[in-house]
Amino acid sequence: MAMEDFDDFLALVRDELGLPVESDDAGVRLDQIPGWDSVQLLWLVSAVERIAGRRLSLPDVLAASSLEGIYRLAAAS
């Protein structure tokens, strides 16, 4: 699975974490997403790093408050 845009990122969240997220959830605080917990964050970081082929800064990920924020970190070159 490639991650070329935000829709691909959301598909990753749905497929890897089993969370029913949509585009409307982009700016929602992570703790407001049904089923979200800290373990989900670790799974997501692992999946993104595997697909992107590079590591993410954990302090930056922890500071991100939404899926959109995590996506921006993942998409940054």
pLDDT exceeds cutoff 70 at 74:
yes
pLDDT at 8: 93
Distances (CA, A) of 5 to 18, 34, 54, 65: 19, 23, 17, 19
| 3-60 tens-digit pLDDT | 889 999 999 999 999 999 999 999 999 999 999 998 999 999 999 999 888 899 999 9
pTM for the whole structure? 0.90
Task: Give the amino acid at 25.
Answer: D
68 near 6, Cβ under 8 Å?
yes
pLDDT, tens digit, for every residue of 60-70? 999 999 999 99
